Every structure is written in C-alpha cells, then in structure tokens.
Amino acid sequence: MSDFYQHNVIATLHRLGKPSLKKLEKDLVDCSRRRHIALIIPVTFNDSRRTAFEDILKELSRVPYLKRKLFAIGLTEKFEQFVSICRKVKAYCPDSVMIWASGPRMSKLIARMENMGLPLGGDGKGRNVWLAYGNVISSDDCRVIAVHDADIVNYNRELLARLVFPVASPIQGYEFSKGYYSRVSDRMYGRVTRLFVTPLIRAHRYLLGESAFLTYMDAFRYPLSGEIAISVSLARINQVPGDWGLEVGTLAEVYRNCAHRWICQVDVCENYEHKHQELGEKGERTGLSLMAEDIAKVFFRTLASEGAVFTTSHLQSLAGIYRRHTYNIAKHHEADAALNGLIYDRHAEFLAVETFAHSLVRAGEAFLDDPLGEPQIPNWNRVAAASDSFLRDIVSIPEEDMKEAESYSG
C-alpha cells in the first residue's frame, strides 16, 4: 500500500520503495542487544499438520535477533499430539519454549487461578497467548513481544522484522505496533473487516456522534490482523479477551493503557494469505457470524465504559444504519474489484452483510441482557498480586512438559 497518508491519531508506517531485509535484520540485531525480543505463536495440532506451519518454522530458523521463541499450544489434549508438535518445532528451532496450554499440568494451574477469582475463559487463542505473555514476563529477559499466527500461507520473515522493529528500536520507541496488509488473490478477502468492522465503526459514529475511541479504531487499516508487537511493560497491564473479540479487544486495551503517540500500524507484507473461515448461516453462532457477534460485544461494552448509552431503540437504529452504510461500501468494493480485474460476487457479499446484521442484533440483545458480560482475562499484575507462585509455575510447568516430551519413546 504505497501511499504517504497519516492519520492524526496513530502513526502509519508504510511500505515504501524496495526495503532491504538484510539491513532491517542487521538493525534489529543491534536493537536486540539492549531490548531482547520474544516471539509468540499460538498453534493447534491441526495448524501443525499444515505445510504453512513448517514453512514458518524454516523461516524462523533464519531469524538472527530473537531471544526467545514460544509456541502456545491449544486445543490439543492428547500427549502424543503435543509430542508431535514439539518434535516438529525443535527440528527447526531447538531452543523454543513449548507451552501446552491444554495439558494436564497447565489445566491444574488454570483451575487454581480460577479458584482464586481469576477467570481465564476457555481454551482458545486469547488465553493461550496470555499464558505465553506470563512466561515471558516471569522469565524477565525480554522487553519486546511479537505475536503472529501459525497459518500464514505465504510467510516471509520480513513480516516479523517489519512488525517488531518500531517497538524494538530504542530510537523509534513505540509501545505497540499492529500489522496491516491486503488480502487479495483473484478476489478480495477480509470480509469481516470490509463488511462488518469498518462499517460498524462508522455506523456507531453516525448514531453516537464523535467519539475518541471510534476515531482511534477507524484509524486502523486492518483491525483484525493477528500480528502485533508490544512492549513487555504494556503486556503486563493489558487484559485479554478470551473469545473471537481478541484482536479488537486488544486494541481497546491499548487505547486505555497507552498514549496514542506510542501506537503505530505497520505495512508488514505486500499480500497475506491464511485459512479462510466459513461465513456461518444467519441465526447460527458459527464461523464468521460468531466472530462478528463477539466483536460487536467488545464495541458495545467499550463504548458503554466511555459513557455511551444504549437502549433497544438505539440498537435497532444501529442495525439499520449499519446495513445501509455497508451496502454503500459494498458498491465501492465492487468498483475496486472491477478496476483491478478481480472476481466480485455481489450476491455472496450481500449475504455476508445480512449475516453480519443478524450477528449485530444478537450481540445487542446479549449486551442489554448482560452489560458486563464475561469478564476479560485479568492482567498479569493482578495475577502476581494474587499469588507469586503463579509466575513461578508459568515457567516451571512448560519445562516439565518439554522434559516429558523429550523422553517419550512412542
């Protein structure tokens, strides 16, 4: 996206000219001498069986500036599956830390935390990344954390370098960076961003008037990207959503806890491809339909905490405004596709809009029934206040799990 546009709230770091990966990695090696860098990748057993995951590992084996690599393994209850992931990772990145988030030892630790009034939600990406945050924080040997997904089909280590540099560089000094990119093949993807999140932000602004939070959210070009870099000090104080609202919820937490001049978004790659979620039918809480519902709840609860008032009438108006705005935006996407020779299925796009509109209505009903909703995963400062042993255990348990995996002969 080679332009120079800057929003007045957060910095946008563009991809300009022909950047040199060699120079960027050399700069990061220099930066990492003072600001050690950790990388967290949430992964499931299904992710680990895809070619994309092995390609990512091959690329990571060539990255020269990472102090630590952590793999947060979720939705994997069988020990043999954990061992399989460990062996695949260790073949390329032998010093990696494997955090078996759904293993029996970690499950006991999670139960102990919950018994002390620290709700951690279910086994999912949010909780698993949060556990890895705790491991980095407790180890106290890194100042920067990067996170990206395990299913990036066209992964190149330049993505990681561009993502982490603004936070790792002591001269730039950002506290948080968010990756953005286009998702295009023979057609446009990114339906939840194009047809739900951006139109929803603007529908809220139309209904509620100007809002600092909505202006901030509208500045992000791809708010649902899973690629972030964050300072360890900010990671300590951020709460984490445990559902599909993770990415938007993370942006909301950064909005609360970080001065906007220390937030940036970075053009991390020319194009990005990963697995595509199913849309889900109207009235069903599956796929992208469920994702949209969870995202809408984050908006409702964040805006309510900023003083916005929602009634049944407000939410009914919002759904109508959203649908009208989105149909207009869909026309722009159709023209964009036509200019660039891309396939554009107007019927499928409008079906998605209707599905998301129903998700918005369900989210509004859920918000009115329970304005507080499920509590977010607490930040690590609160966990440390509850018990020092949690910070010790979040390091020792992965060590025990990895030793057991190494000695397994099956």
The predicted structure's pLDDT at residue 284: 60
Predicted confidence (pLDDT) at residue 162 exceeds the cutoff of 90: yes
**Gap between the Cα atoms of 57 and 125, Å rounded:** 19
Q: How confident is the model at residue 232 (pLDDT cuts 50, 70, 90)?
A: very high
Predicted confidence (pLDDT) at residue 286 exceeds the cutoff of 90: no
First to last CA, the chain: 49
Average pLDDT score, the chain: 94
Q: How large is the average pLDDT for residues 177-205?
A: 95
For 341, counting Cβ atoms within 10 Å of its Cβ (0-12 exposed, 13-18 middle, 19+ buried), the class is exposed
> What is the per-residue DSSP string for 99-124?
EETTSHHHHHHHHHHHHTT----SSS
Nearest to 47 by CA among 96, 81, 98: 81
For residues 116, 367, 226, 328, the Cα torsion angle rounded to the nearest 10 degrees is 180
Predicted confidence (pLDDT) at residue 378 exceeds the cutoff of 70: yes
Q: How large is the average pLDDT for residues 92-99?
A: 98
The predicted structure's pLDDT at residue 301: 94
The predicted structure's pLDDT at residue 352: 95
Q: Is the Cβ–Cβ distance between 71 and 98 less than 8 Å?
A: yes
Residue 142: phi and psi, rounded to 5, are -135, 150
The predicted structure's pLDDT at residue 285: 64
Structure confidence by residue, pLDDT tens digits, 322-364:
999 999 999 999 999 999 999 999 999 999 999 999 999 999 9
For residues 192, 120, 149, 330, the Cα torsion angle rounded to the nearest 10 degrees is 0
- To 5 degrees, how large is the angle CA 233–CA 230–CA 106? 80
**Gap between the Cα atoms of 50 and 58, Å rounded:** 13
Instruction: Find where tokens 């009208």 sit.
Output: 324
